[in-house]
Amino acid sequence: MKTVYKKRIRTTILTILTLFILLYNIPFNINKKIKAIEIKLDDPNYMEKRTINIVGKYHFNLFISDIFRGRINAFEYGPTTEELRDFKFREYSCCLNYKYKTSIRPGGCYNYDITPLGSLYAMPLMKKTVIRIRDYNENGKRGGWPLGNYFLVANANNREEALKILEKYKISTN
């Protein structure tokens, strides 16, 4: 009788734990400094070495889009020193939008402005990271359409490796 009771308790606890894992997201801390290169698709001679810093929490969700909360910095680009808005991955890509405080309203609330940097392509847990930088718009700020031809490609040592990584994300390199 006692063994049947213990089995039921164990089964109930395992069922509750399994449901908890399946229904709630699983966050992972990420703190990476990745060497990258910057290339321009229409200029085969352009290649600059860059560093991408990724710090935050990656929420791996089983049934909905993954979410990243944190900062992605590429110090050569000014907006990346500001706070990054939370973003959801849809098919391993999303827009990189940075928000910064512009003023304080009466009552102590902040006004924010949003600056888009480009699009991020990454596999789960920020592996094989690629950032496509937006062109400048008519105001001289980033955010113009279409997306630009500049790419920050992580873990690539030369242009050929970078182009192979871009092809994995089905980004046209012609």
Position 174 in a domain:
no
Give all strands (DSSP E) within 9-141, no chain letters.
Answer: 26-40, 43-60, 67-73, 83-84, 87-88, 93-104, 110-123, 127-136
- Is residue 154 scored above 80 in pLDDT? yes
- Confirm whether 1 is domain-assigned: no
* Inside any domain, residue 7: no
Please report whether residue 16 resides in a domain: no
Q: What is the pLDDT of residues 56-113, one digit of tens each?
A: 888 877 777 788 888 888 877 766 555 666 667 666 777 777 777 788 888 888 888 7
Across 107-124, average pLDDT = 82
Q: Is position 41 within any domain?
A: yes
Split into its structural domains, the chain has a count of: 1
Helix (H, G, I), strand (E, B) or coil at 132: strand
Tell me which residue of 111, 109, 38, 35 sits closest to 77, measured CA to CA: 38
Those residues whose C-beta lies under 8 Å from the C-beta of residue 21, and which sit 6 or more positions away, are none
Strand partners, 88: 67
Tell me which residue range forms the domain holding 118.
26-168
The mean pLDDT value for 42-68 works out to: 84
Residue 8 placed within a domain: no
**Residue 85 and residue 69 in contact, taking contact as beta carbons nearer than 8 Å:** no
Identify whether 11 is part of a domain: no
Assigned domain for 132 exists: yes
Burial 22-32 (b: 16+ CB within 10 A, else e): eeebeeeeeee
pLDDT at 82: 59
pLDDT at 113: 79
**Average pLDDT along the chain:** 80
